[in-house]
């Protein structure tokens, strides 16, 4: 890390979001887009390359100053020594996990994960002979049992899950992982470093799909992992080999997007909280799922682990899936689309998107009731969003 920027590590998250990583050149205020696949091989570059040093500045799959700027910003925000950026969240997740898992190794995780991660674990990791062992990470005794039963390389979970917004007990899970010699890794996409810094709770690596809140403008895909320099260097070799690297333009957009993460997060979260309370008192709403409400099973855990609840609000409407669709069709402000964490509000139903391949009974058993709607709060005015839900709910 460049020492001249180390004072930033003691600053607030907003100051870090704006300034960390920024690498001006030629008196520019901002980091230029280093739109270059390759770099001049000076003596230093030759030496680093020949020695196999991570991030030799020779080729953009190895290192690029635009990517470096984004990586340093992520590292500072996560209180991590170092970070890497990837072409997508899935590239970050797969590259990271495959750095530490080989044939025969055990991964202990939960079925309550991002759908794409489950697909890859079930379709690819098992194909490579990796022992993917699912437990309920909310059940700490079951986690301990699984870790005790067989040597485990990695314990993997998410800080806040989709779509039930369950909160994982990160300090307890990290403690168990350490006791049994497993590496604890968490996908913290839904929480962001604004709500939680998992490394401070004992996790060794934190992942994000920056496609979502970190970039925040629904205009790029991307992923990142942050942790100790030693672990990040080990992952760098696999990033180099597998090739899921971010490109300079994508990195520049990401660095710019992250500069407003703190204000975007705060605004969206405040609106989400108000909307969740408003929905809870509406007679056409059966149930609201929001960890900042006392009605959520993880209300206390949320207070303990997260600095603020969530920018996502889920709820079930009266009248089932048909009524849910009607509600979405009648909303004027929110767009029907998957993904989340952008400046614009997005709405979708798990039954016709992320959980479309699930049988109805399985969805119900997993807690995704009829008429379940998932809302990603954008930066529109709170009153406009509530008024829009009010008129749309009247029509179902
Ligand atoms: C979207 C998402 C991913 C995958 O990220 P991509 O950028 O789409 O590859 C992984 N984890 C979580 C929690 C996500 O929401």
Nearest CA to ligand 1 atom 6: 89
User: Percentage of the chain surpassing pLDDT 90?
Assistant: 97
Locate the ligand 1 atom nearest the alpha carbon of residue 92 and give its number: 9
Alpha helices in 154-228 (DSSP H): 170-179, 192-195
CA distance 189 to 160: 8
**Dihedral sign computed on CA atoms, order 213, 219, 221, 227:** negative
Locate the ligand 1 atom nearest the alpha carbon of residue 211 and give its number: 7
Rounded to the nearest angstrom, the distance between the alpha carbon of 246 and the centre of ligand 1 is: 15
Q: Hey, how many other C-beta atoms are within 10 angstroms of the C-beta on 103?
A: 8
Flag whether pLDDT at 5 surpasses 90. Answer: no
Length of the chain counted residue by residue: 396
CA distance 370 to 351: 9
Locate the ligand 1 atom nearest the alpha carbon of residue 162 and give its number: 13
CA distances from 169 to 80, 136, 190, 298, 305 (A): 20, 12, 15, 10, 7
Q: Does residue 163 have a cis peptide bond before it, meaning omega lies within 30 degrees of 0?
A: yes
Rounded to the nearest angstrom, the distance between the alpha carbon of 89 and the centre of ligand 1 is: 5
Q: For this structure, is 61 an active site residue?
A: yes
CA distance 279 to 385: 11
Ligand 1 mutation target, pool 86, 88, 89, most atoms within 8 A of CB:
89
Question: The tokens 């994982």 sit on which residue?
Answer: 168
Question: Which of helix, strand or coil describes residue 207?
Answer: strand
- From 34, 62, 114, 156, active-site residue: 114
- From 16, 61, 68, 363, active-site residue: 61
Rounded to the nearest angstrom, the distance between the alpha carbon of 321 and the centre of ligand 1 is: 25
Rounded to the nearest angstrom, the distance between the alpha carbon of 335 and the centre of ligand 1 is: 19
Locate the ligand 1 atom nearest the alpha carbon of residue 189 and give its number: 13
Q: What is the DSSP letter of 109?
A: E
pLDDT for position 47: 96
- What per-residue string of b and e applies to 6-15 under the rule 16 or more CB within 10 Å gives b? eebeeeebee
Ligand 1 mutation target, pool 211, 216, 355, most atoms within 8 A of CB:
211
Rounded to the nearest angstrom, the distance between the alpha carbon of 233 and the centre of ligand 1 is: 23
Domains and CATH numbers, the chain: 2-258 (3.40.640.10), 261-393 (3.90.1150.10)
Flag whether pLDDT at 364 surpasses 60. Answer: yes
CA distance 346 to 165: 16
Flag whether pLDDT at 4 surpasses 90. Answer: no
Mean pLDDT across 44-62: 96
CA distance 115 to 225: 19
Residue 378 structure tokens: 């954008």
Question: Which of helix, strand or coil describes residue 316?
Answer: strand
CA distance 291 to 312: 10
| Helix, strand, coil percent content, the chain, rounded in steps of 5 | 45, 15, 40
Mean pLDDT across 363-375: 95
Locate the ligand 1 atom nearest the alpha carbon of residue 190 and give its number: 13
Question: Which of helix, strand or coil describes residue 208?
Answer: strand
Residue 370: pLDDT band (50, 70, 90) is: very high
Locate the ligand 1 atom nearest the alpha carbon of residue 91 and give its number: 9
Cα-atom radius of gyration of the chain, to the nearest Å? 21
Q: For this structure, is 114 an active site residue?
A: yes
- From 82, 105, 169, 187, active-site residue: 187
CA distance 18 to 308: 20
Q: Which residues line ligand 1 (CB under 6 A)?
A: 88-90, 114, 116-117, 158, 187, 189-190, 209, 211-212, 221, 223
Mean pLDDT of the chain: 96
Cβ contacts of 73 within 8 Å, gap of 6 or more:
16, 17, 20, 21, 22, 255, 258
Q: Phi/psi of residue 3, each to 5°?
A: -70, -25
Residue 6: pLDDT band (50, 70, 90) is: confident
CA distance 61 to 54: 11
Nearest CA to ligand 1 atom 1: 209
Q: What is the DSSP letter of 368?
A: -
Whole-model pTM?
A: 0.97
- From 16, 212, 238, 264, active-site residue: 212
Ligand 1 mutation target, pool 86, 90, 215, 244, most atoms within 8 A of CB:
90
Across 6-20, 139-153, 251-265, least confident range: 6-20
Mean pLDDT across 59-75: 98
Residue 163 CA to its chain's centroid (Å)? 13
Residue 2: pLDDT band (50, 70, 90) is: very low
Rounded to the nearest angstrom, the distance between the alpha carbon of 114 and the centre of ligand 1 is: 7
Residue 288 structure tokens: 């609201």
Give me the helix-helix angle, 170-179 and 140-149, nearest 10°: 20
Rounded to the nearest angstrom, the distance between the alpha carbon of 282 and the centre of ligand 1 is: 32
Flag whether pLDDT at 328 surpasses 60. Answer: yes
Q: For this structure, is 212 an active site residue?
A: yes
Rounded to the nearest angstrom, the distance between the alpha carbon of 221 and the centre of ligand 1 is: 9
Cβ contacts of 123 within 8 Å, gap of 6 or more:
none
CA distance 288 to 280: 6
């Amino acid at each position: 890390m460049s020492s001249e920027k180390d004072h930033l590590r003691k600053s607030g998250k907003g100051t870090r979001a704006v300034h960390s990583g920024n690498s001006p050149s030629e008196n520019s205020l901002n980091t230029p887009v280093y739109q270059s696949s390759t770099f001049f091989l000076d003596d230093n570059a030759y030496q680093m390359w020949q020695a196999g040093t991570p991030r030799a500045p020779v080729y953009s799959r190895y290192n690029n100053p635009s990517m470096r700027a984004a990586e340093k910003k992520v590292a500072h925000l996560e209180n991590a020594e170092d970070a890497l950026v990837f072409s997508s969240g899935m590239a970050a997740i797969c590259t990271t996990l495959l750095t530490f898992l080989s044939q025969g190794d055990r991964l202990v995780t939960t079925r309550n994960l991002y759908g794409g991660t489950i697909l890859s674990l079930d379709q690819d990791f098992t194909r490579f002979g990796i022992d993917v062992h699912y437990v309920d990470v909310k059940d700490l005794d079951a986690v301990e049992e699984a870790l005790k039963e067989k040597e485990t390389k990695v314990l993997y979970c998410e800080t806040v899950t989709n779509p039930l917004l369950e909160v994982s007990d990160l300090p307890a899970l990290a403690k168990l992982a350490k006791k049994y010699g497993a590496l604890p890794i968490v996908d913290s996409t839904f929480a962001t470093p604004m709500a939680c810094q998992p490394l401070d709770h004992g996790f060794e690596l934190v992942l994000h799909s920056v496609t979502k809140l970190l970039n925040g403008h629904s205009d790029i895909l991307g992923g990142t992992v942050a942790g100790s320099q030693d672990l990040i260097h080990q992952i760098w070799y696999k990033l180099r080999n597998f090739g899921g690297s971010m490109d300079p333009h994508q990195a520049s957009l990401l660095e710019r997007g992250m500069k407003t993460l703190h204000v975007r997060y705060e605004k969206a979260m405040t609106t989400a909280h108000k909307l969740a309370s408003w929905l809870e008192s509406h007679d056409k709403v059966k149930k609201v799922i929001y960890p900042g409400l006392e009605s959520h099973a993880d209300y206390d855990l949320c207070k303990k682990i997260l600095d603020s609840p969530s920018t996502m609000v889920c709820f079930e409407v009266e009248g089932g899936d048909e009524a849910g669709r009607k509600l979405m069709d009648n909303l004027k402000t929110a767009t029907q689309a998957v993904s989340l964490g952008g400046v614009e509000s997005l709405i979708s139903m798990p039954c016709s998107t992320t959980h479309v391949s699930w049988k109805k009974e399985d969805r119900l058993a997993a807690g995704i009731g009829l008429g379940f709607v998932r809302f990603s709060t954008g930066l529109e005015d709170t009153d406009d969003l509530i008024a829009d839900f009010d008129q749309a709910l009247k029509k179902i």
